Amino acid sequence: MAGRFQAFVAESDEHKEQLYRLRYQVFVEEQRKYRGIADHARKRLVDELDDVAVHVCVERDGQLVASLRQVRGGQLAPEAWRRRFGLDRFDGYELEQMGFCGRLLVLPEHRRSRALLYAVDLVYRGARKSGLTLDFIHCDPYLVRLYEQLGYRRYRPAYPDPQLGYQVPLVHLLDDGPHLRAVRSPFQLACRDLGEADGRSAWFAARFSEYRGLVAPVAIGGVEFVEHLSRSANTPDPPLLRGLQEGEVKELLAWASRARVPAGSRVVRQGEVGTELFVLIDGVAEVRRNTHDGPLLLATLGKGDAFGEVAVLTSRLRSADVVAATDLDLACLDQGLLRRLVADSPALASKLLLNLSQILAERLEESTARVA
């Protein structure tokens, strides 16, 4: 019988060496990332921040299965990180109050387990006990929604990273209990136990008004959500293409029309009638809604994401603008194409329509949870 998961801070050279090799296995060999900085001869991934970082690991039966790194602000060169994360807008907070998380990984065979839950809980509690108030990360656009539901918030635009492509910076106000409860974060109980601060949400809304929108609450429990995050963090699975084999994805893209859109272009305009569904082949786009108080950022989209699902099925008015944050490579599917797919490739069409219905059902569930 398998043993229990155990989370701990890796301090020995032996555990750190195991961690660096685990990173190579997941990030370099599986995800094909960080190839320019990895030690391929020794099959390890390590950088200069590892000497000062807190490494939280999860072990089962003597094997490391998950990990997460946090660098705490007092260990950083202020100017380099101030530019990277735009820390000037957080005046009033000292660098010693800030943490920077990254290198999250879970072994494939444990991505449907609770391994990651142990890691993020230990990181959160350790950060709070160390006096941290803010925690920063940057992630692929497809992960933004998941991190927002942990309690992180967007506060500035995406930027290009030479190793990872476009990354979205996010910040977590660690003691903002009302926000954690609003998004049903798995950290909400720990925050209550460790103490909450008044006025954090109001401060954020005033300072970052363009990102003030509340993300949709999670319809599932906190534990189940972290399991979902662990499945997605290392193995992106675009909802529209869920369950499609590689050959079916290629067939779908062969049917679709392709377009290249320059940065700054408005792909979809709020209020217009739409009949097309778009799939992002490459690039980053932002979904914005015009309100009485000005534009409101709703979502950041990246490679594999789709938009326009409602329009392609119903021809309803577009509910928001979609603007190219970078140059985009898009695939476009319209209602006529869907009808041809149903006639000529019914197996592929049925999978696509099932995924569309599930996406719409998930959005309806989230909207219901928001007003409940």
Is there a single domain that holds both residue 230 and residue 243? no
Using one digit for the tens of pLDDT, what is the confidence trace for 85-118? 899 899 889 989 999 999 999 998 998 888 988 9
Is there a single domain that holds both residue 57 and residue 29? yes
Q: 192: which DSSP letter?
A: H
CATH of the domain at 110: 3.40.630.30
**pLDDT band at residue 271 under the 50/70/90 scheme:** confident
The pLDDT of residue 225 is 61
SS3 315: coil
Q: d(Cα 282, Cα 303) in Å, to the nearest integer?
A: 5
Q: Are 38 and 93 in contact (CB under 8 A)?
A: no
Does 40 map to a domain? Answer: yes
Residues 351-355 have a mean pLDDT of: 85
Is there a single domain that holds both residue 340 and residue 249? yes
The pLDDT of residue 200 is 93
Work out the mean pLDDT of the chain and round it to a whole number.
Answer: 84
Q: d(Cα 75, Cα 73) in Å, to the nearest integer?
A: 5
Select from 234, 257, 278 the last residue of a domain: 234
Is there a single domain that holds both residue 303 and residue 319? yes
Q: Which of 237, 236, 318 is nearest to 278 (CA)?
A: 318
The pLDDT of residue 147 is 86
Q: Are 53 and 74 in contact (CB under 8 A)?
A: no
Using one digit for the tens of pLDDT, what is the confidence trace for 133-166? 999 999 887 788 778 888 999 898 877 777 777 7
Q: Are 197 and 128 in contact (CB under 8 A)?
A: no
Is there a single domain that holds both residue 202 and residue 299? no
pTM of the predicted model as reported, rounded to 2 decimal places: 0.75
Q: What do you get for the CA distance between the two ends of the chain, in Å?
A: 42
| DSSP H or E stretch at residue 263 | none
**339: domain range?**
239-371
Using one digit for the tens of pLDDT, what is the confidence trace for 301-346? 887 788 887 777 776 778 888 999 888 888 888 887 888 888 888 8
Does 39 map to a domain? Answer: yes
> Which tokens hold the place of 292?
């009485």
The pLDDT of residue 204 is 93
**pLDDT band at residue 60 under the 50/70/90 scheme:** very high
Would you say residue 286 has pLDDT above 80?
Answer: yes
Residues 212-223 have a mean pLDDT of: 55
Q: Which residues pair with 165 in a beta bridge?
A: 161
> Which tokens hold the place of 91?
């005046």
Count of domains observed in the chain: 2
Does 1 map to a domain? Answer: no
Is there a single domain that holds both residue 132 and residue 268? no
Is there a single domain that holds both residue 64 and residue 95? yes
